[in-house]
Amino acid sequence: MFKNTISNLTRIRQVSEVLIRYGFEDAVTTTALRRLVPRSRRISWQEGEQAVFETTRWQRIRMIIEELGPTFIKLAQAMSNRADLLPQPLIDEFEKLQSNVPPFDVQVAKGLIEQELGRPINEVFSEFDDVPLGSASIGQVHRARLLSGEEVVVKVQRPGVQEKVRSDLALLHELVRLTAGFLRKQGLANPQDVVDAFERSMTKELDYTSEARSMEQFRKLYESYETFYIPKPYREMSTAKVLVIEFVSGCKITDKPQLLAWGLSPEQVAETGMDIYLTQIFEFGIFHADPHPGNVLVRPDGTLVLIDFGMVGKLTKQQKYAFAGVFIGMARQDPRSMALSFRRLALTSDIPDMRAFETSLSELIEDFATLDVKDMSMSDLADALQGVIYTYKLQVPGAVFLILRALVILEGIGKVLHPRFNTFEFVRPYGARIIAEQYSADNILSEAQYTGTQLLALIQTLPADIRQIMRKISRGDLRVRVELSGYQLLMRKADQLVSRGILAAISVALILFAGLSLLGRYPAGQMPYYRGLPVVTWYSLGVAAFLLLILFILGTKRERPRE
């Protein structure tokens, strides 16, 4: 840990200066980052306001992220899907972030391809376009043609990007360690878990073989669909840093004039797209998590094509049922059913006050129940649901926020193509289908088999577990650990009362001793007197007064809250 701190010291100082420049002195002055700023620089923190203070705190956080670079931008973009951790105003700012990264030299790209594939580029491609189709922080995409004549696109990872990301991830871990107390006070209870999850996501994104596997999985799921197509990945020509994919031509799904020129119905295209996406969520439980218009193409024959599978979300069967139950409970105006579905959906179901939770859901239902179907907005509903999740600190699967975000994006696409497009009209039949599936004979039998297997495993291991416990008891090795939570303040108060009680008892004893000392008869010359009283009396009263002063100070002192 110390080695990482030293290696990242310069970068951490830069981060500290950026935080200070945008008005976040408290993130530096109240954390271990304070030690990394020279004393001569600390005076300037208190100088007059700058123009940046005219912006909101949330806007300044976005400015900081933009200045810190691509890895931090990707973290913020990932966090924009976590309404259980961040307030909505900050999420709105994070959604504005864009990773505008210029392309790198095509000769470098070709060199990387040859290095990864282990052969000259002209032995793989008959044509290779020097101008990239697109560029991002991780890599860039070129169009090419295989020797067999097939048109492809080639994703090439940026040189040194893995080392850069690893360095930034180490820096993030160090920053979280240094500012953990501050972040907890801001409401982020588990910042280290967030960085760990982001590290796993980035590690997966840096491995192009993971994207190829996702594409193959989708191709298998939708191989019988005539209106939906997934490009083919060429696994034999792909590595962790190079990905070769079939090139598919088409227009963006929002290009309404082109759809009309091809004789396609934009309304039908919108309905087909929503149907395919809801099938991914509620039937297969695996979905494309970034369906923005640039990633959804339409062929001249009306076939929809999804590209860029770098972000894929997954739901287990139980999560799928619980997520559908939230919408079904809302449609039935049943806050209790909605609350129970949320509890099943949450990774931890610790809701302190279920009545208050149901009341919040009831208010949410009332807000939307009064609206006409045409006036209902998926964006407003997503914000409302995310607000409830954030307020009650529910830890729900990250896939839930990806789904809500994707539904909002799809609703925006649908309204461009379809004047009467309404997301809820499409979700409703899937809700009925989910209920039928959940309570089908096959699913009930499957659940019964799972429960029976778990019970059988418990019965099989129970005798051995009991034998082990009895053996420990006979040897006197059994230890019971009791951990009380929530009693820290009470124990601290009890400790203070005991300490003050001891001081008070000593003070009373000294005062009594002083009174008794006045009754004593002392031989002449053996006890000095002062103002007619024995010196021992004055000493006793003095010590008692000092102890009473301490008790008075302790009684008036306000205790500082502990982290």
Q: How far is CA 354 from the centre of its chain?
A: 24
pLDDT, position 88:
76
Please give the angle made by the CA atoms of 523, 528 and 533, to the nearest 5 degrees.
Answer: 100
Please give the angle made by the CA atoms of 379, 200 and 347, to the nearest 5 degrees.
Answer: 55
Residue 290 a catalytic site member: yes
pLDDT, position 507:
82
CA distance 120 to 188: 50
pLDDT, position 48:
42
Question: In this structure, what token pair is assigned to residue 404?
Answer: 């809500």
Answer yes or no: are the C-beta atoms of 70 and 137 closer than 8 Å: yes
- Transcribe 33-56 into DSSP letters: GGGGS-HHHHGGGGSPP-GGGGS-
pLDDT, position 430:
76
Would you list the domain boundaries of the chain? 2-99+163-200, 106-162+201-312, 481-556
Q: How far is CA 95 from CA 77, 398, 526, in A?
A: 6, 16, 87
Radius of gyration of the chain (CA): 33
pLDDT, position 168:
81
Q: Which of 84, 168, 255, 290 is catalytic?
A: 290
pLDDT, position 534:
78
pLDDT, position 53:
46
Q: How far is CA 167 from CA 28, 77, 102, in A?
A: 21, 19, 21
Residues 6+ apart with CB under 8 A from 171: 8, 11, 12, 15
Between β-strands 296-298 and 228-229, what pairing exists: parallel, antiparallel or unpaired? unpaired
Any alpha helices (H) in 80-229, and if so which ranges? 88-94, 106-117, 161-185, 191-205, 208-221
Answer yes or no: are the C-beta atoms of 532 and 517 closer than 8 Å: no
For 137, the 3-state DSSP assignment is: coil
**pLDDT in 10s for each residue of the chain, 563 residues:** 444 544 566 666 667 666 666 656 556 555 666 665 555 554 444 444 444 445 677 787 788 777 777 777 777 777 776 665 677 787 778 777 765 668 889 999 999 999 999 999 999 999 999 999 888 778 899 999 999 999 999 999 988 888 888 888 887 788 777 777 766 666 565 677 677 777 877 888 888 999 999 999 999 999 988 899 999 999 999 999 999 999 999 999 999 999 999 999 999 999 999 989 888 988 888 988 888 888 899 999 999 999 988 888 888 888 888 888 888 888 788 888 888 888 888 877 667 778 888 888 898 888 876 666 566 677 788 888 878 887 887 878 878 878 888 888 888 888 888 878 877 778 777 776 777 776 667 767 776 776 777 777 767 777 777 778 777 777 777 676 665 555 566 667 777 777 778 878 888 888 887 777 777 666 666 777 777 777 778 888 888 888 888 877 777 665 544 44
pLDDT, position 51:
46
For 132, the 3-state DSSP assignment is: coil
CA distance 401 to 84: 9
CA distance 97 to 74: 9
Answer yes or no: are the C-beta atoms of 154 and 242 closer than 8 Å: yes
pTM, two decimal places:
0.64
For 106-162+201-312, the fitting CATH number among 3.40.50.970, 1.10.3720.10, 2.60.120.200, 1.10.510.10 is 1.10.510.10
pLDDT, position 395:
79
- Residue 511: what are its φ and ψ, rounded to 5°? -65, -40
* Site of tokens 């914000």: 383
